[in-house]
Structure 1
């Protein structure tokens, strides 16, 4: 089982607004808060966004470079995926592959693909 994921972000307030909305919409609860970061928890797994003082290079994440491409989350169903797709732009996310929504991942794979202002991609799959 996954223990936690930690994302270093260039702008904490922006990350808290976008990630907090997304994770909250998927049932994650606020978990920890400190000057440079926040976390949300679902079961025993948690996600951290942090503006680390060790972060000295780069202004944003590039999912097209080596490293993390995206995180995939499971939603409760198609209606939940549709609601996220509809509301995402108001919370700092832009749709990826909108012309192929909701089957950008292939036939039978109902999902929305989103990218935040810092270049982090998420996939939310209907459970």
Structure 2
């Protein structure tokens, strides 16, 4: 079982505003905050920690199509939740990916999802649980 994920970010204040607002829409809450980081948690399951990248490594930019993490995917309750997230993102100027195919971006009508781009170019997916194969 996944325990947590730690993500180093280029701008902590931008990331705090983005991630805390977005993930609050699906029940995540701030679970800790310190000078160079914060944690968001959902109930007592896996949590996400965001840490300001050190100056030593700040020049190394994230590339989601390179080796390593491609994206984070969150299972949400249903299609309505995906649609509400889409509206939240539009209202907050959050970049949506694959708009021309949305909400069936993977060309499968049984896979209802929203794909967005977070700060630091991290792709984030929200998939409706009522259709999810897992």
Cα 1:45/1:92, change in 2 over 3 Å: farther
Alignment partner of 1:86 is 2:87: yes
What TM-score comes out, normalization by structure 2 length? Answer: 0.86
Deviation (angstroms), 1:45 = 1.3
Cα 1:82/1:117, change in 2 over 3 Å: same
Deviation (angstroms), 1:54 = 6.4
* Counterpart residue number, 1:95: 96
- The total of aligned residue pairs comes to 127
Cα 1:108/1:55, change in 2 over 3 Å: farther
Cα 1:27/1:33, change in 2 over 3 Å: same
* Counterpart residue number, 2:132: none
Deviation (angstroms), 1:65 = 1.1
Point out where structure 1 has 5 or more consecutive residues left out of the alignment: none
Secondary structure, counterpart of 1:118 in structure 2: helix
Deviation (angstroms), 1:119 = 0.1
What TM-score comes out, normalization by structure 1 length? Answer: 0.91
Secondary structure, counterpart of 1:33 in structure 2: strand
Q: Distance in 1 between matches of 2:2 and 2:26?
A: 17
Deviation (angstroms), 1:93 = 2.4
Whether the aligned pair in 2 keeps the contact of 1:93 and 1:116 (CA below 8 Å) is: yes
Q: Distance in 2 between matches of 1:67 and 1:22?
A: 23
Q: Distance in 1 between matches of 2:40 and 2:29?
A: 5
Q: Which has the larger radius of gyration?
A: 2
Deviation (angstroms), 1:58 = 3.1
Whether the aligned pair in 2 keeps the contact of 1:31 and 1:39 (CA below 8 Å) is: yes
* Counterpart residue number, 1:74: 75
Whether the aligned pair in 2 keeps the contact of 1:72 and 1:122 (CA below 8 Å) is: yes
